[in-house]
Structure 1
Amino acid sequence: MKVLYFAWVRQKVGVAEEEVAPPAEVRDVAGLIAWLAGRSAGHAAAFADPRQVRAAVNQDFAPPAHPVKPGDEVAFFPPVTGG
């Protein structure tokens, strides 16, 4: 699974992207966030408040309950506002 990080999420994690292989029990975006938060202090800081992070799975916006699977591309970014 390819995970991409944008804006302050990337700054806290310390990388723009990474390949990960979460355990089988990680089945949705929320589970992935919880698992990623345990990978490092930077990940923990980025995902300290999951409500402040948005996700896209395979380039489509995805809610926390959206399923994820091996081979997916999952992006995390701050909420976006228009002007």
Structure 2
Amino acid sequence: MLPQVEHELHKRRRSRNIGLLVVLLAFVALVFGLSVVKITQGDMMQGYDHRPRASMLPQDPDPPAANAAPVAAPGTPAANQEAGE
């Protein structure tokens, strides 16, 4: 059996594939490094999920008494019953 000679086209394609591999590995390393830094760096990081968070609300200078009755939110069935509708 004769040894097969590799064509020049295959050599060029292999070198491009190796270059692309290096670029992709560098990108993965960059994203991983940024993730590690962001996770280990910080205090209470919170994501924004389009909802109000208690930690982001301003502190109430006059909080209600602990034994006060809860108030129903406007537009809920409990609020309509309290209003006598």
TM bucket (normalised to shorter chain) is under 0.3
Query: Could you say which structure has the larger radius of gyration?
Result: 2
Considering Cα pairs closer than 8 Å and 6+ residues apart, tell me whether 1 or 2 has the greater RCO: 1
Query: TM-score w.r.t. structure 1 length?
Result: 0.20
Query: TM-score w.r.t. structure 2 length?
Result: 0.19
Structure with bigger helix share is 2
